[in-house]
Amino acid sequence: MASAIRPQLVLFGSSIVQMSFNVGGWGAILADLYTRKADVLLRGYAGWNSRIGLTVLDSVFPKDATIQPSLVIVYFGGNDATGPHPSGLGSHVPLSEYIDNMKKIILHLKSLSDKTRVICLTTPPVNESQIEVAYGQLFDNQARRNEDCRAYAEALVNLCKELNVEGINLFTAIQNRDDWADVSFSDGIHLSSEGSKVVVKEILKVIKQADWEPNLYWLSMIPEFPEDSPYYAVCPDGKTTSNVSFFICNWQKQWVDI
């Protein structure tokens, strides 16, 4: 029989992560694809920046844990990249500090075990006019601008190369379709189901192409308890049963050819 201990894929970050389990969200899609193969765990905290994320690393990812994650997908940056508020309060983190924080986060995650892999997601673009419609004057003194999103995204990609971890540039990936600004967001900041599809596609491409042992690509993993059973539904021949352990649902088929 297969082991009952599944690999853990942990999603760690701010609201882009917290909301990823919404209907059609990228976290929910990953959890569905990894059914019977891995546990996708949500550790998302809306409003957080890299400063706060850094302070909880030992609590969320203790180094002495009996079971360490096989993969951690990290997202911080959107809140860090907001404009500084005149009061000194708010989520803004200067770019140099943001990169230093992310370096510490990545190194902590890599140190959890020899088999713990890390993927970093950069800040996506934003639809500035949609933000104004959705939030009015809320962000007037702490604006989200694409020029800042680009700078933070590019800096994180460079850091990932330096630390030999996988980095996905969502700022560029989401803009690969002409109508990205109209379809990618629910409020100009957070991802719609269309925006989430881009994230899933990019994550699956990285996992599929990565030279990792064990292989964490969903189609390459053996489902938990894959054995035949006489208690499954009986086939038309009346003599055998239908093992659905490897069955791919219709809504999952769009993710087969990545």
pLDDT tens track for 3-20: 558 999 999 999 999 999
Q: Look at residue 81 and tell me whether its pLDDT is greater than 80.
A: yes
Tell me how far apart the 2 most distant CA atoms of the chain are, in Å: 75
From 14, 20, 70, 196, active-site residue: 14
Return mean pLDDT, the chain: 95
CA pair distance 12, 69, nearest whole angstrom:
11
| 87 annotated active-site | no
pLDDT at 111 over 60: yes
Which strand ranges, in their side-by-side order, compose the sheet holding 117-121?
Answer: 39-44, 8-13, 71-75, 117-121, 166-168
Angle at 191 between CA 128 and CA 39, to 5 degrees: 155
Token pair listed for 152: 């933070």
Catalytic annotation present for 92 = no
Catalytic residue among 32, 39, 100, 187: 187
- Indicate the pLDDT class of residue 74, thresholds 50, 70 and 90: very high
CB 65: neighbour CB atoms within 10 A?
A: 11
- pTM of the predicted model, to two decimals? 0.95
Q: What is the mean pLDDT of residues 96-106?
A: 98
One-letter amino acid for residue 183 of the chain: V
The percentage of residues in the chain with a pLDDT greater than 90, rounded to a whole number, is: 93
Of 144, 138, 127, 133, which Cα lies nearest the Cα of 49? 144
pLDDT number for residue 1 = 39
The rounded Cα 102 to chain-centroid distance in angstroms is 15
Identify whether 14 is a catalytic site residue: yes
pLDDT band at 138 (very low <50, low <70, confident <90, very high): confident
Instruction: Quickly state the pLDDT bin for 154 (edges 50, 70, 90).
Output: very high
Q: Is the pLDDT of residue 193 over 60?
A: yes
Write the DSSP assignment of 37-106 as a string of letters.
T-EEEEEE-TT--HHHHHHTHHHHS-TT-SS--SEEEEE--TTTTSPPPTTS-SS---HHHHHHHHHHHH
Tokens 């308890």 found at: 225
Please state which of the ranges 1-10, 23-32, 92-101, 179-188 shows the lowest mean pLDDT: 1-10
Residue in 80, 91, 190, 196 annotated catalytic: 190
Average pLDDT over residues 15-30: 97
pLDDT at 2 over 60: no
185 secondary structure, DSSP code: B
